[in-house]
Structure 1
Amino acid sequence: MGNHETAEDGPTRSSRRTFLTASAAATAAAVATPLAAAPAAAATTAPPGPGRPARPQRPGRELTALLREIDRRRIEATVRRLAAFGTRHTLSSQTDPVRGIGAARDWIHAQLSGYAAASGGRMSVELQSYVQQPASRIPTATTITNVVATLRGDVTPERVYVITGHYDSRATDVMDAVSDAPGADDDASGVAVVMELARVLSTRRTEATIVLAAVAAEEQGLYGSAYLASQLKAAGVDVQAMFSNDIVGSSTADDGTRDPRTVRLFAEGVPTAETPAEASVRQSVGGENDSPSRQLARFVTDVAENSATGMDVRVIYRRDRYLRGSDHISFLREGWPAGRFTEPNEDFAHQHQDVRVVDGVQYGDLPEFCDFDFITRVARVNAATLWSLAQAPGTPKNVTVVTTNLTNDTTLRWQRGPEPDLAGYEVVWRETTADQWQKVLPVGDVTEVTIDLSKDNVFFGVRAVDRAGHRSPVAFPKPGS
């Protein structure tokens, strides 16, 4: 390694062969020690050039202890309690202490408040309400209430990660607020994940802020999550990731097929909030598979697909399933990266079915059809993801790849993050036909680096690393100067 002239200075052949700038080389050792990890299978042959194979992050001691605390019995008890409210339809009673969405709301609030009491003041819980005027699936003015627990970070609290499950339910007729609609799988399972994470995280310190929310009115049209997202947007909150847990209760399809060790993660390509001009740039330079949500999905597989969670994460490259959509869409619309966790196979014979017995066969979204071991593993995937995000530096911002000169090397620039324990950065890249990052190169605590590898042939990204070895999600560069 040695000095490296910029393209504008007219680099010589020998200087252009240098992999890093001098400033990067001087500090690369600060982030040169990776977390212990097992090798990951590459989709294609790794590209040539500097760097080492990219490998997944393994859970450290703190995360391993956290994952062990996730309690299957508590998750089952939560699902059964929510189903016992009879219906949690958005238009059901908000004042009945036993049945309806109001009773469920108050119980969730009480449980989360109990967890917050053990947090030493770091966790707060609120009932976030507004009145939705008549709209699609809302025939009369209706109060919609989210139950929101916020675990404030100690280091960079302005950086926020959000997880939700929706506590409303529905019968076959989406406007039927009277019939039983226990909603065990859809979506008491997701709420149970959120509540169990609130419990185990409440006694721990995180660097960034985590918002754990049970949102309402998803079945009527994502109203609760849209309000939560709009409130965060209006407050100028830096939401760097959001996950919806929706229908995570079972691994069995309606034909009996089981896949108990896989959870699907839906992640869109071209961002929902991207302007036509931005989409045109993306299509012209590549990166159709490199939206912030896709980078987030790669991060999930990097930190949560391991023996500690017991799960494989099957990333689905689309926004959501056909004809349906979950609460992550509300956050995508605000321009934030988001994804939806859901079970690998759906049992449509039990989803949104009125509770009844036909020819001796019981139907309905009942707890009896849930797999509580499966939900527990999904909770561990969420916990590994949130903990790793909240303890790592934030995703690098303003990352650009210099495209003002015709060269066979690549210059990347970015903005330095504010974290006090920031050690530096890593550049990652992959073949354009590969879906996962294949090579990684520590470059130190710098904001610019030049690598002797053509930007025409591979896709590059940049991620931050702290002194403990925690790594951020990757930021994909935009063309710039």
Structure 2
Amino acid sequence: MASRPRPDSALAKVAGRRNAAAMRYSIMLAAFSVAFASPAIAQQTDDPGLEVSEERLRADMDTIVGFGTRHTLSSQTDPERGIGAAVDWALAEFARISDTCGNCLDVMPIGRVVEADGRRIPQDTLVRNAVAIQRGVERPDEVIIVQAHYDSRVTDPLNATDAAPGANDDGSGSVMVLEAARILSQRQYPSTIIYALLTGEEQGLYGAGILADWVGEQGMTVKAVLNNDMIGNSCGSDGFCDAEHVRVFSEGLRADSTERLRARQRRFGGENDSPGRNLSRWLADVAEDYPDGMQVRQIWRTDRMGRGGDQIPFLDRGYPAVRVTVAVEDYEHQHQDLRVEGGTTYGDTVDELDWTYLTRASQLNMRALDRLARAPMPPVLSANGAVRTDTQLQWEHVDGAGYYVIVKRRTDEPHWREGEGMILSFETSASGAERPVGSMIEKIVPVRADDWIFGIAACTFGPVCSPVSSAVPGGAFYPLPVDSED
């Protein structure tokens, strides 16, 4: 697979490559000591992907499909069959995982009663998500969400009684989320990780909307949402197979855009620089660091043709979110009644899964989550290049950043070019907090802004870098205020 230029490929050599004349701040060796407040966190550089256990994935899958159906409209009270038993088991499993890490997870059902909608919710229905929260030790309000939908269905979306094993759709994502909680909870991270098994997806993305609202009510800053929906098979309905890639879907124009923002994007760019799009680029770079592991094929649209997933409610609220899914879909083994018809077997059953593929897709998730939880928040970058032959870049320092990498690409290029690092001098305030000398940081780039799009990543001295935030209207990794002019 051909490698493209990457913003973090110069990180290890950043000090030797910097242009001293362009630096606005001196380099101090002491800066390396402030990458993290906790030495234990800074030492976590092993590969959590290697800890993924196919045996555990299989065992969880057997339990999950054993509930018969996980349809959102199925029984909430039957102790052995239906969505109620399934969610209760997931909460208990999260609690058991928490016991192994000294009660490091806050386990809770996050849900509400959804009123009948006249479509796929025929009567008022409790939609309950199983959620476990691993609080960050430095920036607990800065969160990464890894999620999958836990509910299942057959051909008729209102059939809540027939067997609906939902092995690939989306038992595959669900067992990965449980495995992520087992592996990553044994570590400490600066940022918070939320592990979520959502229900109500097949009835209208209700569980995701409930969780997205709850996150906003808590005042959390969402760095990334990885929605894993069907990550367990490698061959499609037509016999075409691709065991080397997952697809990552990302939106172009922001779902929370305003009329003013769209007008500014038409004039100044930003159609290809939403936070989700840059999260997708970042995931592809993470995959390339492991050439023998699962690779990413980026799909630059919000979801598949005529389809949807649980990343959409988060996008609607302005949060960076992507869908991770199989490279090719097998339509005979999703949303189907269990049957044999015309010599073809239908149904989303365990025997149709590719366990090697699911294990490798899970490994990619572990590696991405580990980096996201250690990386700082992407800064908000502005670029001023009007009527001048250079470009003024400005941003405010973000907590946890030891240095920054400036990247650029021509307006017709899809990927970021290799970046230039910028290490800062730090000072200690009267309160003991360490910040750069001057919280507003500036860099002058000797190129005309009209021909380029600029971006920035915040990095620790690990090094671990955030996704890139673009200096275009709507390029920041934050929801847009209702009265926003950007």
TM-score (norm 1): 0.86
Identity of aligned residues (%): 38
The answer (yes or no) to whether the contact 1:130–1:145 under 8 Å persists in 2 is yes
Partners of 2:405 and 2:186 lie apart in 1 by 32
Task: Pick one of 448, 456, 460 that aligns with 2:454.
Answer: 460
Residue equivalent to 1:374: 357
What one-letter code is carried by the residue in structure 2 that aligns with 1:225? A
The equivalent of 2:409 in structure 1 is: 430
Which residue, out of 383, 389, 403, partners 1:401? 383
User: How many Å separate the matches in 1 of 2:403 and 2:31?
Assistant: 6
* Counterpart check, 1:365 vs 2:348: yes
Which residue number in structure 2 is paired with residue 271 of structure 1?
254
Structure 1: distance between partners of 2:289 and 2:472: 32
Match of 1:125 among 107, 128, 147: 107
Equivalent residue, structure 2, for 1:114:
96
Q: Is the 8 A contact 2:273 2:472 kept in 1?
A: no
Map residues 163-182 of structure 1 onto 2, 5 A cutoff: 163-182=146-165
Measured against aligned partners, the alpha-carbon deviations of 1:62-96 in whole angstroms (never above 9, x if no partner) come to 45441111101111222222112111110001111
Residues 122, 309 of structure 1: CA spacing in aligned structure 2 closer, same or farther, 3 A cutoff? Answer: farther
Taking the aligned partners of 1:95 and 1:241, their CA distance within structure 2 comes to 34
Distance 1:459 1:160 in 2: 27
**Is the aligned partner of 1:290 residue 2:273?**
yes
Q: Is residue 236 of structure 2 the alignment partner of residue 253 of structure 1?
A: yes
Deviations 1:345-367 (CA, angstroms, capped at 9, x unpaired): 11111211111223554321000
Aligned counterparts of 1:28 and 1:299: Cα–Cα separation in 2: 29
Distance, in Å, in 1 between the alignment partners of 2:457 and 2:196 is 28
SS at match of 1:218: coil
The runs of 5 or more residues in structure 2 that have no matched partner are 1-18, 33-41, 425-435, 474-484
* Distance (whole Å) between structure 1 residues aligned to residue 319 and residue 460 of structure 2: 23
Give the Å deviation of 1:114.
Answer: 0.7
Number of residue-to-residue matches in the alignment: 432
C-alpha displacement of 1:112: 1.1
Name the CA distance, whole Å, in 1 between partners of 2:274 and 2:409. 15
- 1:410 corresponds to which residue? 391
Q: CA separation in 2, counterparts of 1:93 and 1:309? A: 43
Q: Note closer, same or farther for the CA distance 1:335–1:309 as it changes in structure 2 (3 Å cut).
A: farther
Summarize deviations over 1:189-237 as a string: whole Å, max 9, x none. Answer: 0101111101101111111000010000000000011000001112211
- Equivalent pair of 1:305/1:381 in contact (CA under 8 Å): no
- Alpha-carbon distance in structure 2 between the residues aligned to 1:305 and 1:61: 23
Match of 1:473 among 467, 471, 476: 467
Unpaired stretches in structure 1, ≥5 consecutive residues: 1-17, 33-59
Query: Is the CA contact 2:255–2:318 (under 8 Å) kept in the aligned structure 1?
Result: yes
Question: Which residue does 1:330 correspond to in 2?
Answer: 313
The amino acid that maps onto 2:469 is A
CA distance in 2, matches of 1:165, 1:459: 34
Partner of 1:314, secondary structure, is strand
Q: How does 1:14-413 map to 2 (within 5 A)?
A: 21-24=22-25, 26-27=26-27, 62=44, 64-135=46-117, 136-307=119-290, 310-359=293-342, 361-397=344-380, 399-403=381-385, 405-413=386-394
Q: Look up the equivalent residue of 2:470 and give its one-letter code.
A: F
**Counterpart residue identity of residue 27, structure 2:** T
How far 1:116 moved relative to its partner? 0.9
Contact conserved, 2:128 with 2:198, CA < 8 A, in 1?
yes
**Gap change, CA 1:365 and 1:28, over 3 Å in 2:** farther
Q: Shift of residue 393 of structure 1?
A: 1.3
Report deviation, 1:154: 1.0
> Any idea what SS the aligned residue of 1:471 has?
coil
Does structure 2 retain, via aligned residues, the 8 Å contact 1:31–1:442? Answer: no
Per the normalisation by structure 2, the TM-score is: 0.85
**Worse-matched range after superposition: 326-335 or 93-102:** 93-102
- The answer (yes or no) to whether the contact 1:262–1:311 under 8 Å persists in 2 is yes
**Displacement of 1:122:** 2.4
Using the TM superposition, give the Cα deviation of residue 444 of structure 1 relative to its aligned residue in structure 2, in angstroms.
2.2
CA–CA distance in structure 2, aligned partners of residues 20 and 166 of structure 1: 52
Distance 1:353 1:275, change over 3 A: same
Structure 1 Cα separation of the partners of residues 127 and 45 of structure 2: 35
Q: Residue 5 of structure 1 corresponds to which residue in structure 2?
A: none
How far is 1:290 from its partner? Answer: 0.9
Determine the C-alpha separation between the residues in 1 that align with 2:447 and 2:93.
54
Q: What SS is found at the alignment partner of 2:419?
A: strand
Question: Would you say the 8 A contact 1:129–1:145 is kept in 2?
Answer: yes
